[in-house]
Amino acid sequence: MTSSDGYRVAVVGATGQVGTVMLGLLRERGFPVREIVPFASERSAGRELDGGLVVQPLTDETIRGFDLAIFSAGGSTSGEWAPRFVEAGAVVVDNSSKWRMNDDVPLVVSEVNPDALDGHRGIIANPNCSTMQMVVALKPIQEVAGIERLVISTYQAVSGTGKKAVDELLSQSRAILAGDAPPEPRSYAHQIAFNALPHAGSFAPGDDHTDEERKLINETRKILGDPSIRVSATCVRVPVVNGHSESVNVETRAPLSPDEARELLRDAPGVTVLDDPDGTSYPMAIEASGRDDVFVGRIRRDPGHDQALDLWIVSDNLRKGAATNAVQLAEVLHERGLIGARVA
């Protein structure tokens, strides 16, 4: 298939939060498509989506003949079906954590390490949402001053857990405000409404960090190409519907002033600096939600360390944290002639 005819694109997980944004972005950004086919679970097969597309089930027959498949349907679906799409000829961009740390699989943020796409073998991984927004802001700092250590605390929105978690936050909140007992927690170990849970992700047996914290540590090193960066991470779920916020302390290898960091970030692709504390201007989840940029503010010297800065980084986890980056990767693959090409 030549790109002038447009590609045949599968969107797997098309009925979910990320998949819905993805379908909108493929249209909005004018990605050259000949046909988009939405896939979801058996439960949704036959359902008509806005715009008239009909959801397909995943079968050996329905997955044939695609140039590109973008997955946001969880790790087990990606584990089973991404290799089958590749075998059938498609390039896969996957939003789940299933393939991210495989040596053979590039883990790519479009503004940070697009060259990693060049040697792909069929599957390309989209990073975890918290990692994604952070490395977009850290890359320009790393290029100029190097990064020695990061101390990260996240304030993650419930949309990062899926649609059911958003419903749970809203139904618990409504019940409490009406003076009723809130519904029992299902998406989380405890009530999320009017609370903050130091437990984003899950604890593997014997590990004192959640998998979300491990992703931040490992994926950051892989994307920035420096396994020696020391990372401390605490991931917290907060009762925000959409948009992740992060407090990040960055110790650099060479001196870098807050003014220099601000200038670097003002020029960085995909970043908007909002940093006027006197004018109460700083990034906030409710303003980042629905937008594609990574917002950075509260840029200041760490009073406890001559060579460390504190940053506040906010972005829409469903957009840059997932769907926007996936579509941007598809655009880079198209520009570089890498759809339909792979290293054996």
Ligand X SMILES: NC(=O)c1ccc[n+]([C@@H]2O[C@H](COP(=O)([O-])OP(=O)(O)OC[C@H]3O[C@@H](n4cnc5c(N)ncnc54)[C@H](OP(=O)(O)O)[C@@H]3O)[C@@H](O)[C@H]2O)c1
For the chain, the distance separating the N- and C-terminal CA atoms, rounded to the nearest angstrom, is: 20
- 334 annotated active-site: no
Q: Residues with Cβ < 8 Å from 49, sequence gap 6 or more?
A: 14, 15, 23, 38, 55
Should residue 83 be labelled a site residue for ligand X when binding is judged by CB under 6 A? Answer: no
CA–CA distances in Å: residue 192 to residues 154, 163, 188, 189, 197: 15, 14, 7, 9, 7
Task: Choose between 19 and 283: whose C-beta lies nearer to ligand X.
Answer: 19
Task: Choose between 156 and 252: whose C-beta lies nearer to ligand X.
Answer: 156
Residue nearest ligand X (C-beta atom): 16
Task: Choose between 14 and 233: whose C-beta lies nearer to ligand X.
Answer: 14
Side chain identity at 49, as an amino acid letter? L
Q: Of the candidates 36, 112, 151, 322, which one interacts with ligand X according to CB under 6 A? A: 322
Q: Of the candidates 11, 37, 77, 223, which one interacts with ligand X according to CB under 6 A? A: 77
Task: Choose between 72 and 245: whose C-beta lies nearer to ligand X.
Answer: 72
Element (H, E) at 138: helix 129-145
Task: Choose between 252 and 324: whose C-beta lies nearer to ligand X.
Answer: 324
Q: For ligand X, how many residues bind (rule: CB under 6 A)?
A: 27
SS3 at position 151? strand
- 209 annotated active-site: no
Q: Of the candidates 10, 23, 26, 58, which one interacts with ligand X according to CB under 6 A? A: 58
Exposure of 6 in the CB half-sphere (CA atoms within 13 A)? 12
Q: Of the candidates 7, 13, 289, 295, which one interacts with ligand X according to CB under 6 A? A: 13
Task: Choose between 158 and 264: whose C-beta lies nearer to ligand X.
Answer: 158
Q: Of the candidates 25, 36, 44, 135, which one interacts with ligand X according to CB under 6 A? A: 44
Should residue 325 be labelled a site residue for ligand X when binding is judged by CB under 6 A? Answer: no
3-state helix, strand, coil in the chain (%, to 5): 35, 25, 40
Site string for ligand X, 289-318 (x = CB under 6 A): ----------------------------xx
188 burial type by CB count under 10 A (0-12 exposed, 13-18 middle, 19+ buried): middle
Task: Choose between 119 and 290: whose C-beta lies nearer to ligand X.
Answer: 290
Q: Of the candidates 24, 74, 89, 146, which one interacts with ligand X according to CB under 6 A? A: 74
CA–CA distances in Å: residue 197 to residues 176, 210, 238, 254: 18, 12, 7, 36
Query: Is the separation of the CB atoms in 245 and 237 below 8 Å?
Result: no
Should residue 328 be labelled a site residue for ligand X when binding is judged by CB under 6 A? Answer: no
Should residue 19 be labelled a site residue for ligand X when binding is judged by CB under 6 A? Answer: yes
Query: Is the separation of the CB atoms in 130 and 235 below 8 Å?
Result: yes
Active-site entry in 190, 199, 235, 244: 244
DSSP code of 230?
E
Should residue 245 be labelled a site residue for ligand X when binding is judged by CB under 6 A? Answer: no
Distance CA 265, CA 135 (A): 12
Q: Of the candidates 56, 95, 142, 324, which one interacts with ligand X according to CB under 6 A? A: 95
Should residue 125 be labelled a site residue for ligand X when binding is judged by CB under 6 A? Answer: no
Should residue 172 be labelled a site residue for ligand X when binding is judged by CB under 6 A? Answer: no
Ranges assigned E (strand) in the chain = 7-12, 33-39, 68-71, 91-94, 123-125, 147-156, 230-237, 244-252, 271-273, 294-301, 308-315
SS3 at position 296? strand
Query: Could you say which residues in the range 130-169 bind ligand X, by CB under 6 A?
Result: 159-160, 162-163
Give least dist CB 11 to ligand X, A.
9
Should residue 41 be labelled a site residue for ligand X when binding is judged by CB under 6 A? Answer: yes
Applying CB under 6 A, the residues found at the interface with ligand X are 13-19, 40-41, 43-44, 58, 72-74, 77, 95-96, 129, 159-160, 162-163, 317-318, 321-322
The catalytic residue positions are 129, 244
